[in-house]
């Protein structure tokens, strides 16, 4: 006997087992009710995150009616002797279906708020979906905008993850209460302790070092040594850097505060400002361009920006990269300043397990290699670098201060910049 098309399909795996003494019931269970209606309702479940009714666009009354219609259908086609048994079992199965459907749908997608805007990320998001079946939806914006959005949305936010650049911003997100602790043995293995929040609120994904980029024509590497030495009088009128409002400079100064104390950090900021060839302006790439053009001899900038110039489709940018060299400061001391881009699980995530899985994927060796080759960022385990371009700059010792310190000292760094007159 064919079943009506209005019936709600449930697979045999959902229906409970039945005894051999009930052949009619067993036959219907084995055949199951058609999957047509199951697919239909699942479509209505998709993209819904509502706490009360998983079926998007369905009222409580509609959900109840659908359940009653389904019960009526089953009751009609099951012989009376077995009806009570089947109805009891079916009702349990049906109501479980709603819960299972909601859980499976929410687990099938991750909503990511991302400050990052790189080709490497798009590649990896697609790869993650291919490997896991979990779709990655991305909302882009500045870090501050996304953090504020998360604050406004609270625990009702659809976001599962926040991705951004710089430990200072990750610390800011934690302080704002929009991230939750998320720990796993794999994340602990993939990410060094210095590059993750001690309480597990965020994890580093990639590394950039803030280095000295110098003119190959006018500066010998032997003339360079430390960040601190760049404050000496012989560098007057020879240095360029971004404004103090830039988070990368703020984190650099925060690392100097951590290493040398506030007084010495202030003196350093004042001296660097006096040694600048021009007032602070432009992006990191603009600092390299200034050195290549002869406006300055040394720039303070992040490594990955030089990688972007070296691989640019614009010939003038590639020429800039060819004219400058990379110097990693403080190799005889604490090591070169580094920072991370990273991510954390949103406090309102409905898919925490899958979000952690995504972070594990992004910090895996394969993903780390993609970040290096496509976006010229170091892996969080720097010695595992596979990028030929990054290798060409040489290996280096990195400052191993826990990067959460950079966020903790960010406010002080901003104050010192103001006192130093570093615009």
Q: What is the mean pLDDT of the chain?
A: 82
Residue with tokens 């060409």: 392
**Close Cβ partners of 189 (under 8 Å, ≥ 6 residues apart):** none
Asked whether residue 69 falls in the same domain as residue 214, the answer is no
Asked whether residue 213 falls in the same domain as residue 272, the answer is yes
The answer to whether residue 14 sits within a structural domain is no
Kindly write down the DSSP assignment for every residue of 170-204, as one continuous string. HHHHHHTT-EE----HHHHHHS-GGGB-TTSS-EE
Q: What is the largest CA-CA distance in the chain?
A: 99
Q: What angle do CA 39, 44, 48 make, to 5 degrees?
A: 130
Span 201-207, mean pLDDT?
98
Residue 148: its pLDDT value, please? 97
Confidence grade of residue 410 (pLDDT, cut at 50, 70, 90): very high
- State yes or no: pLDDT of 231 exceeds 50: yes
The DSSP 8-state label assigned to residue 348 in this structure reads T
The answer to whether residue 318 sits within a structural domain is yes
- State yes or no: pLDDT of 31 exceeds 90: no
173-197 burial string, b = 16+ CB within 10 Å, else e? Answer: bbeeebbbebeeeebeebbbebbbb
Cβ(292)–Cβ(254) below 8 Å: no
On whether the pTM is more than 0.85, the answer is no
- State yes or no: pLDDT of 5 exceeds 70: no
Q: What angle do CA 232, 233, 237 make, to 5 degrees?
A: 110
Span 48-74, mean pLDDT?
38
Closest by CA position to 200, among listed 359, 63, 46: 359
Which tokens in the block code for residue 27?
């036959």
The DSSP 8-state label assigned to residue 383 in this structure reads G
More confident residue, 42 or 203: 203
Per the DSSP assignment, residues forming a β-bridge with 391 are none
Asked whether residue 239 falls in the same domain as residue 296, the answer is yes
The DSSP 8-state label assigned to residue 208 in this structure reads E
Cβ(329)–Cβ(224) below 8 Å: yes
User: If DSSP states are collapsed to H, E and C, what string results for 214-228?
Assistant: EECCCCCHHHCCCCH
The answer to whether residue 405 sits within a structural domain is no
The answer to whether residue 394 sits within a structural domain is no
Sort 137 into a burial class: Cβ within 10 Å, 0-12 / 13-18 / 19+: middle
Q: Angle between the 143-153 and 167-175 helix axes, to the nearest 10 degrees?
A: 20
Asked whether residue 121 falls in the same domain as residue 214, the answer is no
Write the CATH number for 298.
Answer: 3.40.190.10
The DSSP 8-state label assigned to residue 276 in this structure reads B
3 state DSSP class of 147 = helix
Confidence grade of residue 8 (pLDDT, cut at 50, 70, 90): very low
Domain span including residue 256: 207-337+413-420
Closest by CA position to 382, among listed 336, 326, 345: 336
Asked whether residue 234 falls in the same domain as residue 293, the answer is yes
Kindly write down the DSSP assignment for every residue of 38-99, as one continuous string. HHHHHHHHTT---SS--STT--HHHHHHHHHHHHHHHHHHS-HHHHHHHHHHHHHHHHHHHH
Asked whether residue 136 falls in the same domain as residue 150, the answer is yes
Residue 60 Cα to chain centre, angstroms: 36
- State yes or no: pLDDT of 30 exceeds 80: no
- State yes or no: pLDDT of 255 exceeds 60: yes
- State yes or no: pLDDT of 15 exceeds 80: no
Confidence grade of residue 208 (pLDDT, cut at 50, 70, 90): very high
Asked whether residue 332 falls in the same domain as residue 224, the answer is yes
More confident residue, 57 or 349: 349
**Domain endpoint, select from 56, 73, 107:** 107
For residue range 110-159, list pLDDT tens digits in order.
999 999 999 999 999 999 999 999 999 999 999 999 999 999 999 899 99
Confidence grade of residue 11 (pLDDT, cut at 50, 70, 90): very low
The answer to whether residue 4 sits within a structural domain is no
Residue 108: its pLDDT value, please? 84
Asked whether residue 231 falls in the same domain as residue 333, the answer is yes
Asked whether residue 78 falls in the same domain as residue 94, the answer is yes
Residue 340: its pLDDT value, please? 97
User: Do the bridges between strand 161-165 and strand 109-114 make them parallel or antiparallel, or are there none, so unpaired?
Assistant: parallel
Considering its fold, how many domains does the chain have in total?
3
Calculate what percentage of the chain has a pLDDT beyond 70. 75
Residue 85 Cα to chain centre, angstroms: 50
Asked whether residue 113 falls in the same domain as residue 161, the answer is yes
Residue 422 Cα to chain centre, angstroms: 31
Span 91-99, mean pLDDT?
44
Phi, psi of 13 (to 5 degrees): -70, -20
**Domain endpoint, select from 107, 137, 154:** 107
The answer to whether residue 357 sits within a structural domain is yes
Span 273-299, mean pLDDT?
98
Residue 388: its pLDDT value, please? 96
**Domain endpoint, select from 77, 107, 137:** 107
Cβ(102)–Cβ(39) below 8 Å: no
The DSSP 8-state label assigned to residue 234 in this structure reads G
The answer to whether residue 122 sits within a structural domain is yes
The answer to whether residue 78 sits within a structural domain is yes
Asked whether residue 246 falls in the same domain as residue 329, the answer is yes
For residue range 153-203, list pLDDT tens digits in order.
998 999 999 999 999 999 999 999 999 999 999 999 999 999 999 999 999
Residue 14: its pLDDT value, please? 35
Q: Rounded to an integer, what distance in angstroms lies between the CA atom of residue 45 and that of residue 64?
A: 15
Asked whether residue 264 falls in the same domain as residue 276, the answer is yes
For residue range 319-340, list pLDDT tens digits in order.
999 999 999 999 999 999 999 9
């Amino acid at each position: 006997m064919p079943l009506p098309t209005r019936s709600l399909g449930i697979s045999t795996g959902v229906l409970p087992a039945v005894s051999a003494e009930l052949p009619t019931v067993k036959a219907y269970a084995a055949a199951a009710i058609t999957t047509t209606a199951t697919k239909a309702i699942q479509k209505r479940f998709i993209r819904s995150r509502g706490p009360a009714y998983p079926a998007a666009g369905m009222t409580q009354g509609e959900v109840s009616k659908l359940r009653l219609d389904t019960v009526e259908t089953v009751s009609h086609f099951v012989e009376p002797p077995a009806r009570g048994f089947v109805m009891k079992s079916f009702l349990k199965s049906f109501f479980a279906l709603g819960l299972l459907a909601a859980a499976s749908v929410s687990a099938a997608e991750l909503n990511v708020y991302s400050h990052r805007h790189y080709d490497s990320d798009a590649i990896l998001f697609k790869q993650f979906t291919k490997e896991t079946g979990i779709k990655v939806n991305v909302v882009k914006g500045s870090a501050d905008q996304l953090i504020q959005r998360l604050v406004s949305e609270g625990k009702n936010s659809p976001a599962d993850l926040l991705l951004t650049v710089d430990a200072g911003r990750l610390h800011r997100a934690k302080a704002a209460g929009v991230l939750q602790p998320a720990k796993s043995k794999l994340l602990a293995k993939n990410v060094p302790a210095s590059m993750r929040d001690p309480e597990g609120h965020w994890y580093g994904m990639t590394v950039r070092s803030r280095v000295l980029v110098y003119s190959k024509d006018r500066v010998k590497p032997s003339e360079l040594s430390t960040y601190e030495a760049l404050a000496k009088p012989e560098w007057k009128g020879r240095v360029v850097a971004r404004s103090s409002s830039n988070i990368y400079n703020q984190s650099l100064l925060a690392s100097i505060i951590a290493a040398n104390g506030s007084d010495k950090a202030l003196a350093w900021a004042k001296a660097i400002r006096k040694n600048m060839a021009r007032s602070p302006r432009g992006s990191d790439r603009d600092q390299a361009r200034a050195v290549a053009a002869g406006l300055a001899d040394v720039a303070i900038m992040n490594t990955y920006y030089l990688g972007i110039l070296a691989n640019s489709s614009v010939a003038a940018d590639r020429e800039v990269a060819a004219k400058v060299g990379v110097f990693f400061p403080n190799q005889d001391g604490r090591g070169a300043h580094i920072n991370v881009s990273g991510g954390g699980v949103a406090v309102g995530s409905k898919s925490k397990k899958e979000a952690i899985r995504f972070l594990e994927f992004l910090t895996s060796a394969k993903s780390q290699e993609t970040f290096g080759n496509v976006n010229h960022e170091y892996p969080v385990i720097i010695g595992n670098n596979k990028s030929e371009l990054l290798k060409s700059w040489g290996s280096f010792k990195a400052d191993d201060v826990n990067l959460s310190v950079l966020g903790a000292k960010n406010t002080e760094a901003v104050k010192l910049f103001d006192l130093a007159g570093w615009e």
